[in-house]
Amino acid sequence: MSEALVASTALAADSSAARASGARQFWRRLRAQRAALVAAAVVALLVLVALAAPLLTAIEGQDPTTYHPSLVDSARGGVPVGPLGGIGAGHWLGVEPQTGRDLFARLVYGARVSLGVALAATLVQVLIAVVVGVAAALGKRWVDQLLSRITEIIVALPLMIMSLALLAIVPGSFPRPVLVALVIGLIAWGTLAKIVRAQTLTLKQLDYVAAARLSGWGTWRIARRDLLPGLAAPLITYSALLVPANIGVEAALSFLGVGVKPPTPSWGQMLTAADVWYQAAPQYLLLPAGALFVTVLALTVLGDGVRVALDPRAASRLRVGTGRRSEAKADASTDTPAGGADLPRQDAGTPPQGTAVPRPGAPADETKEATA
């Protein structure tokens, strides 16, 4: 028993060192991808704008809910007065048709709602998927069968239809952004749970996990100490791709009228109100649509970069800015022996030097001598 414990401790230390080295390689590969770095900068800027929304609107001197009827032309149906939708020193992006509410204030506060709902929904999805996936992989056969069937049912459910049904029956007094995040998270965790279960089944076969089991560690202690660190890479990869998908779902639900309710600003809600103003006030439609496009694109590119950095064997879906050439050069330089001398190159399928190759159609005796 003591030998198994010593082996488990040694293997765990080796795995910790390997994870530290893997983290350095991950950052090196991520920095080699220019598109991912640009996307990370855009995402960081969007998060900063969302967090600093009260400060930015205070500098502008506006807020997202105050009406300005004097800034719209009621004789023309509520079109903003002035050029470019009323853009000026007091309203940096103009005003909203009919109401006169400041567009800049509503846009930055809408970023808080859209990003906050997407991140909260992703967190709920990850928590449920980890619990269900690990329990299915480590539990008894009937537990695995039960949780697997539940997961398949969740995967088969249509997300938008179920979200519409759940959001329609909940009382309006419940905080709407929290409700939208919970509904998305509680319905869309099935695919991630299947990934977690498959990865946990693979990790169970590793030597250090077997040694920890032989040393007498409990199932959940092994899961906490040995399995969860191994699940970090696939969880980070898939979570980075879930955030833009959840932003799109929140915008679609708000566009359909069952998401975030007025007066709370949301990009999807702004698109809903702007569908009749795209000719008279095009900026009212283009601003939230452009913000959604840039956010989803940046998060998608960043997620692809994280996926490639965590798994260098995976090819990037992007054509430019991936840094694959510089990454290959960096990997080649680390593989070159000390002193700068390259090893003799051996092509695949070519026998080593000094090996006799039998002639095609040679007698059996000659073939045996050549291969001896």
- Residue 43 confidence class, pLDDT cut points 50, 70, 90: very high
Contact by Cβ (8 Å): 247, 295: yes
Contact by Cβ (8 Å): 113, 177: yes
Contact by Cβ (8 Å): 371, 362: no
**Amino acid 232: pLDDT:** 84
**Average pLDDT in the 269-287 region?**
81
**Average pLDDT in the 263-290 region?**
83
Over residues 160-211, the pLDDT tens digits come to: 888 888 888 888 788 889 999 999 999 999 999 999 999 999 988 888 777 8
Over residues 348-360, the pLDDT tens digits come to: 444 444 444 444 4
Residue type, 354: G
State how far the Cα of 272 lies from the Cα of 184, in Å rounded to an integer.
Answer: 20
